Amino acid sequence: DQIKGRWWTIPAEIAKNRREHRVYLTETALELIGDDTGYIFPSEGKNPHISPTVLSRAINRSYEEGGTRNVGNEAIKASKKPYFGMKPWSPQDLRRTARTNMARVGVIEEVAEEVVNHKKSGIVGIYNKYRYDKEKEIALTKWEELLLRILRNDAEEEGAG
């Protein structure tokens, strides 16, 4: 019920920075979400939806035994050993990847920061209340195009990092 058309509105009470956030949903995002009603990722547990930390816990539990890592308020077993050849990662790394690649496709800093719901600092945060919906749509569409090119392994990879 947080999705209306192409926009997902994350309520302030569940947003990390307690500020309502609107996310533009690209074609790929809409395809992945589907058109069922109810929760996109339902839970068979006591809550009707998965918890905010379930993905982090699942990722970290997949790494080989050893050590612990804090996910939310929970310490779980984890290690720094590669998993399927990957170094340990978290959902935050997905945000960082998107944010980095928005710069790569020419999205200006101010818009990219809005896409990831970072608050404006200083005097700008006090006076600029614009939320950049049209610009976020363009930014996420550009990021989707680059991501799809990467997934297809297209040759147009100049400046890849």
SS3 70: strand
Q: Which helix (H) or strand (E) holds 113?
A: helix 109-115
E strands in 11-160: 21-24, 68-71, 74-77
Give the list of residues 6+ apart from residue 17 with CB closer than 8 angstroms, or none.
117, 118, 119
pTM for this prediction: 0.77
Residue 161 pLDDT greater than 70, yes or no: no
d(C-alpha 102, C-alpha 99), whole Å: 5
Measured CA to CA in angstroms, residue 84 lies from 63, 64, 71, 88, 91 at distances of 9, 10, 21, 10, 17
The residue with tokens 């818009």 is 111
pLDDT tens digits for range 119-135: 999 999 999 999 999 99
Q: Helix and strand tally (H, E) in the chain?
A: 6, 5
> Which two tokens mark 32?
């992945």
**Per-residue pLDDT tens digits for 14-35:** 888 999 999 999 999 999 999 8
Distance CA 46, CA 155 (A): 47
The percentage of residues in the chain with a pLDDT greater than 90, rounded to a whole number, is: 53
Encode pLDDT of 68-80 as tens digits: 666 666 666 655 5
Q: Which residue has the higher pLDDT, 31 or 159?
A: 31
